[in-house]
Amino acid sequence: MAVEFKIAGLDYRSATVGVREKFSFTESGRRELLREIAPRVREAVLISTCNRTELVVVSEEEPAGLLQRARGGGNFFSLSGEAVVERVFEIAAGLHSQIPLEDQILGQMKEALLLARQEKVCGALLGQLFQRAVAAGKEIRTKFKALPHEASAAAVACAEASAFYKSLKGVRALVVGSGEMGMAAAKLLVERGAEVRMTQRRRRKDGVRPPAGAALIAYDARYEALRECSLVICATASPHCVLAAEDFSDDGAKRLMIDLAVPRDIDPAFAERPSVTLVDMDGLGCKALPEGFMREIRKSLEANIKRFHEWLDVHECVPYIENICSFAEREMVEGLGCESEEERLRVKEASRAMMNKLLFSMKKGVDMDMAKECYRALSKGVRA
C-alpha cells in the first residue's frame, strides 16, 4: 500500500475504564489536539468514546507519540498499513465495542470525521475510509438486525437493572443526562414500568423531548431525587463526576448505580458503601457474537474493504494521469499551432478524452500494480 495509514490508541480490551477516562477527549479537547498536530500530519481523525481513544493519521509521524505529547504516556497499541483499514471498518461494524454491533459508534465516527474536516485535517483518504466504513457498518446492521442481542449500552444497563430487581415495575429510577444515551435509558425504563426522573440542564438543540412517562427535573436537584430513587443510570459528557460520594451522605438504602460515562459520572467511592451496587462500563461485560454470524459479518467486511482498495488504487493513479493528460494537451495545442482560444479548448478536450480513454483502458488490461508502474513511469517521462 503506497499510502501509509497509521493508528494508535487504547480501548476497553487494553485499558480499564480508570485509564481510558484519562485519555478521553471532550469536543473542545479533540479540536485542540487536531489543531496542534495539523502541521505534522497529512490527515488525521480522532475517535474518542467511552470504549476507546484512537488517532488515525496519514503521516510519517507516529500517532502514539502525538497522543503521548497531548496526554502523557499510555499503553497504546499501534498499527500501520492494511491493518489500519481493517480496524476502522471493524470499529464501524461494532466488532471492537463492548456491546457487539452497537449503533452509537456509527454516529460517533461520523462526528469524528465532521470535526476533522472542520479543523481542515481530513482530506480524501481518511474521508473515504471513514465514509465507506460507516456505510459498511450500516449495511451489516441491516443485514443482521434479526440477531438477538442488546444493541446499546442503555439496553444492557436496563437488562442489568431488570435482573437486579427481578422486575422494574414500580422501581423509582433517576437518569442523569438527557443526551442520546440518557434518552434511550429513560425510554427503556419507562417501557419496563419504572417511575423515571431525568435531569436536564438545558433544552436540546434538536428539539427532542424526553419519553412520555419520564419526569424532567433540574440538574441541581439530582441529589434530592437520588434520595428517593433506588436505581440510577448516569450518562453525561461531563469531564468530572456528577455524583460525588462526599455530597451524598450514606442513608443505608439499597441502590443499583450504573455509570455509562467515560470519564466516569459516579464517584467510585460509592462502591465502598455496603448498600450500593456500582456498575461501570467495564462491569457491564462484553458478550461474544455467535461464530456463524461472525463469519458472515467478516465476509461482508472483506467485500467492502476490497472496494475501498479499488478506489484507493485509482486515487493513487490520478496525479500521474493528470500529468500525462496535461502534457498531451500542451503538445497537441503547440503541434497544431492553435491560434484562437476556441481552437485551443477544442484540441485540449479532444486530447484529454483520448488520453483518458487510453490510460484507463490500460488499467483494465493489466493488473493494478503494473498499471500504476506504467502511469508512474509515463508521468516521470513527461516531466523530464
157 shares a domain with 139 = no
In a domain, 294, yes or no: no
- 49 assigned to a ligand binding site: yes
* 48 carries a ligand binding annotation: no
Which of 111, 143, 175 terminates a domain? The answer is 143
CATH number at residue 169: 3.40.50.720
pLDDT at residue 172 is higher than 70: yes
pLDDT tens-digit profile of 61-106?
999 999 999 888 778 999 999 999 999 999 999 999 888 888 889 9
pLDDT category, 312, cuts 50, 70, 90?
confident
- If asked whether residues 352 and 256 sit together in one domain, one would say no
Residue 178 annotated as binding site: yes
Distance CA 271, CA 350 (A): 75
193 is an annotated ligand-binding site residue: no
Percentage of the chain beyond pLDDT 70 is 93
DSSP state for residue 266 in the 8-state scheme? B
Encode pLDDT of 120-149 as tens digits: 999 999 999 999 999 999 999 888 765 555
The band of 1, judged by pLDDT with boundaries at 50, 70 and 90, is: very low
Number of independent structural domains in the chain? 3
Highest mean pLDDT among 24-33, 64-73, 138-147, 354-363: 24-33
- Based on the domain organization, do 113 and 166 belong to the same domain? no
Q: Among residues 162, 192, 195, 198, which one has the least CA distance to residue 178?
A: 198
Residues 125 and 55 in one domain: yes
pLDDT on residue 206: 65
**Dihedral angle over CA of 158, 163, 165, 168, nearest 10:** 40
Dihedral, 100, 105, 106, 111 alpha carbons, nearest 10: -170
Q: Tell me: is residue 102 an annotated ligand-binding position.
A: yes
- 208-221, pLDDT tens digit by residue? 778 889 999 999 99
Q: Are residues 117 and 28 in the same domain?
A: yes
27 with 108, same domain? Answer: yes
Question: How many CB atoms are closer than 10 A to CB 171?
Answer: 21
Residue 201 lies in a domain: yes
The answer to whether the annotation marks 104 as part of a ligand binding site is: yes
Mean pLDDT calculated for residue range 275-293: 83
Do 134 and 159 have their domain in common? no
**136 and 226 fall within a common domain:** no
204 assigned binding-site residue: no
Q: Mean pLDDT across the stretch 152-176?
A: 93
Q: How many CB atoms lie within 10 A of CB 374?
A: 17
**Given 50, 158, 229, 325, the catalytic residue:** 50
What is d(CA 214, CA 186) in angstroms, rounded to the nearest whole number?
A: 7
Residues 60 and 182 in one domain: no
- pLDDT average, residue stretch 9-33: 92
Are residues 167 and 274 both part of a single domain?
yes
Check whether 33 has a pLDDT greater than 80: yes
Q: What domain range includes position 229?
A: 153-282
Separation CA 371–CA 312 (nearest Å):
14
d(CA 138, CA 123): 22
CATH of the domain at 11: 3.30.460.30
50 is catalytic: yes
Phi, psi angle pair for 306, to nearest 5°:
-60, -40
The reply to whether 285 sits in an annotated binding site is: no
The pairing of beta strand 52-58 with beta strand 43-48: antiparallel
Please provide the size of the chain in residues.
Answer: 384
- Report the percentage of the chain scoring pLDDT > 90: 56
